[in-house]
Amino acid sequence: MSTLVLEVIKGRRSVRSFKPDPIPEEHLKLILEAGLWAPSGGNAQPREFVLVRERQVIDKIRLFSPGLFGDLE
């Protein structure tokens, strides 16, 4: 394993407080692409991504899973 990969893994942090700024479209595409390339057990690739942008929908999801989105302003 390369030293850079190990540094990135060790430096990962969970963020629970987010800025209200919208995420640029090109960043969202890169994040989703990274998810598609992530490994899966037995190469089953049981992935399904849902991109939710509407605040009303996010608020409804938070009713069922309050910690999922961290602290949104």
Q: Is residue 8 part of a domain?
A: yes
Predicted TM-score (pTM) of the model is 0.59
- Residue 72 confidence (pLDDT): 59
Q: Is residue 70 part of a domain?
A: no
- Residue 21 confidence (pLDDT): 87
Residue 50: C-alpha distances to residues 2, 11, 27, 45, 47 (Å): 32, 27, 15, 16, 10
Cα dihedral 39, 41, 44, 45 sign: negative
Length of the chain: 73
Q: Is residue 71 part of a domain?
A: no
Mean of pLDDT values over 45-69? 87
Q: Is residue 46 part of a domain?
A: yes
- Residue 30 confidence (pLDDT): 94
Q: Is residue 40 part of a domain?
A: yes
Q: Is residue 51 part of a domain?
A: yes
Q: Where are the alpha helices (DSSP H) in the chain?
A: 3-11, 25-37, 55-64
- Residue 45 confidence (pLDDT): 83
Number of domains in the chain: 1
Please report, rounded to a whole number, the percentage of residues in the chain having pLDDT higher than 90: 21
Q: Is residue 44 part of a domain?
A: yes
Q: Is residue 73 part of a domain?
A: no
Q: How many angstroms separate the CA atoms of 23 and 29, rounded?
A: 10
